[in-house]
Structure 1
Amino acid sequence: MCDVHLPAKLINGGIAGIVGVTCVFPIDLAKTRLQNQRQGQQVYKSMMDCLVKTVRSEGYFGMYRGAAVNLTLVTPEKAIKLAANDFFRHHFAKNGQGLSVFKEMLAGCGAGMCQVIVTTPMEMLKIQLQDAGRIVITSSSKLVATNPLLSRSYNSGTVTALATPRPASATQIARELLRTQGIQGLYKGLGATLMRDVPFSVVYFPLFANLNRLGQSSADQSSPFYWAFLSGCAAGSTAAVVVNPCDVVKTRLQSLNKGSAEEAYSGVVDCVSKILRKEGPSAFMKGAGCRALVIAPLFGIAQVMYFVGVGEYILDNSPLGVLSP
């Protein structure tokens, strides 16, 4: 049997995704809202400012708007990503020799291409829910919430709602997109998602493998769990910052509800050109700090799950039998 125990890898990736999302989702919400702010309409000054204003206008659970979508789909998404990378690495190393950096990058590329099957619709639905409570400034300098259910006091003024109705749940959003646009509605921003996830995997997996190798006392021993965690955090945050411009483009393209003064985009090239022209190159790094803070623990936790072998333990002790060697 292949040395890569796919069921165990799927379990490890899924558990890591659930634990990680639960811990860092509020930061991810702040990242989405910061990236969606346009030039001259910066209601949120920083990650902490965004979170404080979110709690004030939506309550504590407002920080977890859209978390259910992620918790539902993060298991297959992370499982596919991690398991696909292991599969490709195993395939490229069939001759028994170590992988070159180029082959490690190819394995990461394959993993990134596989995961977008789940990532794109997951991100599409998550962004609609995360962005629902974002506060925008209209052309009349009035504070308006993109969620029609919000009409709460906000600092010195009142946050009113957009007149345009929006679905209240991920299921309703998905149904409406399928009804009006078909399956391509859920895959809006697929190109931008590929632009983000493929380079991310190309950077992350080789960087993690080489950083983690530094913590090994010998070639036949694994590195300590804390080293695997730190390596995952370092590689994840680095890759997250590198591909942040693509994440900004993806977020803008996948946001359906916009303020009256906010720009609409017809595609990746149109989005990039308009951001450059109206907001400058620095706009592509919006939310980079938040994204690094989200990705670092997500992949650090994932690597610890792999180190501990939770999936292997579950399968070894399940009534279905043990893993084959």
Structure 2
Amino acid sequence: MAEKQISLPAKLINGGAAGIIGVTCIFPIDLIKTRLQNQRTGQQIYKSMLDCLIKTLRSEGYFGMYRGAAVNLTLVTPEKAIKLAANDYFRHLLAKDGMTLSLAKEMMAGCGAGTCQVIITTPMEMLKIQLQDAGRLASQQLMGRVPCSTPGCKLVAVSPVLTRAYNVGPAVLPRKISATQIAAELLHAQGIKGLYKGLGATLLRDVPFSIIYFPLFAHLNKAKQDSLEERAPFFQSFLAGCMAGSVAAVSVNPCDVIKTRLQSMGKGRNEESYNGIRDCARKIWMNEGPLAFLKGAGCRALVIAPLFGIAQSIYFIGVGEFLIELCQYGGLSP
């Protein structure tokens, strides 16, 4: 296919740039997704996606919507580069004499890509979730009339790491936290394994996601193409990434809920702790019902669709051509 003519370093650069642009565009929706997934039945602070957006803007301001974005922007470059390049590598490895890959081999390539990416994804998600959920925990404390003498304490983040027994409710601290502080405290207390809390759940989400996403994208992207060597039009690649990303995201949302719960070290009042994937799934099912596994599914689809639409487009054509094509489709001169 035409994309094989692009060198590996160029693909890594394109993949990294795609991740940065995509994350910048959709991060506020991702924050809402994390907060909706973490709130328990009977303790809802947010009634819906829109309600969460409004309350976050009111209490934390515009920049509060990007809480945790720094760690994502830092690590998304290697994460997306590894994911996209690994899929290409495994597809090339499984291909024979330029023949079209069977669906089974496309799924195997996706499985390999999903497995490779978790080395970056797990610590990235771990740190991001603590920062994204801090506002929800602080709001829950304030709603419970927890004393707070610090002016503007509703804007103060909660430091879950300092609450060593993770099943104990967090405290509203008189300082804001950063990903660097959380990482340093985790490394000091637990070593490198502290950053890889939830590794099994991350694999459980990302491997099936890639198995679904990459074959679906490949088939949608080459639809109506007369030749395998012909590159799909920009807008077709973008839509194929959006559609495949949405389907894959919703399909693995139950795994994403479990991963989010396991990686959230800070707990609100009366919020249970979990001893692994099976215990987490059982408690969610018993205490909140099967629909709890779909929490944040709409947000996740809204996050993944444009993220992978942008990522796939930039990955194959590069940042410069992507911006030119975008201007042309928007009726603007490049």
Q: TM-score range by the shorter chain?
A: 0.7 to 0.9
Contact 2:45 2:136 in 1 (8 A): no
1:217/1:68 CA distance change after superposition, 3 Å: same
Name the CA distance, whole Å, in 2 between partners of 1:3 and 1:119: 28
What is the aligned counterpart of 1:101 among 97, 100, 103? 103
- In structure 1, which of residues 19, 24, 42 is the aligned counterpart of residue 21 of structure 2? 19
Partner amino acid, structure 2, of 1:10: L
RMSD over aligned Cα atoms: 2.4
1:280-316 deviation line (CA, Å, top 9, x unaligned): 1100000000000000011100111133234999xxx
Partner of 1:255: 264
Contact 1:57 1:150 in 2 (8 A): no
Gaps of 5+ in 2: 156-168, 323-334
Larger helix share, 1 or 2: 2
Are 2:165 and 1:163 equivalent residues in the alignment? no
Any conservation in 2 of the 1:58–1:150 contact (CA below 8 Å)? no
Q: Does 1:205 align with 2:214?
A: yes
Map 1:35-74 onto structure 2 (within 5 A): 35-74=37-76
- How far off its partner does 1:4 sit? 6.0
> How far is the alpha carbon of 1:3 from its aligned partner?
5.2
**1:121 alignment counterpart:** 123
Q: Which residue pairs with 1:242 in the alignment?
A: 251
Give the Cα–Cα distance (whole angstroms) in 2 for the partners of residues 57 and 309 of structure 1. 39
Alpha-carbon distance in 2 for matches of 1:40, 1:217: 55
Find the aligned partners of 1:290 and 1:21 in 2 and give their Cα distance. 14
CA distance in 1: counterparts of 2:145 and 2:263, whole angstroms = 23
Structure 2 CA distance for aligned equivalents of residues 215 and 80 of structure 1 = 29
Q: Percent identity?
A: 71
Matched, 1:184 2:193: yes
Deviation, 1:150, is 5.5
Check whether the contact 1:32–1:131 (CA below 8 A) recurs between aligned residues.
Answer: yes
Task: Report if aligned partners of 1:88, 1:110 keep a CA contact under 8 Å in 2.
Answer: yes
Give the structure 1 partner of residue 291 of structure 2: 282
How many residues are treated as equivalent by the alignment?
302
Does the CA-based 8 Å contact 2:170-2:266 persist in structure 1? no
**Which residue of the partner structure matches residue 318 of structure 1?**
none
**TM-score, structure 1 as length reference:** 0.87
Q: Give the structure 2 partner of residue 6 of structure 1.
A: 8
Match of 1:158 in 2: none
Distance 1:128 1:143 in 2: 22
Per-residue CA deviation, residues 187-221 of structure 1 (Å, 9 max, x unaligned), is 00000000000000000000000011114243331
Residue type matched to 2:56 in 1?
T
Aligned-partner Cα distance in 2 for 1:246–1:53: 27
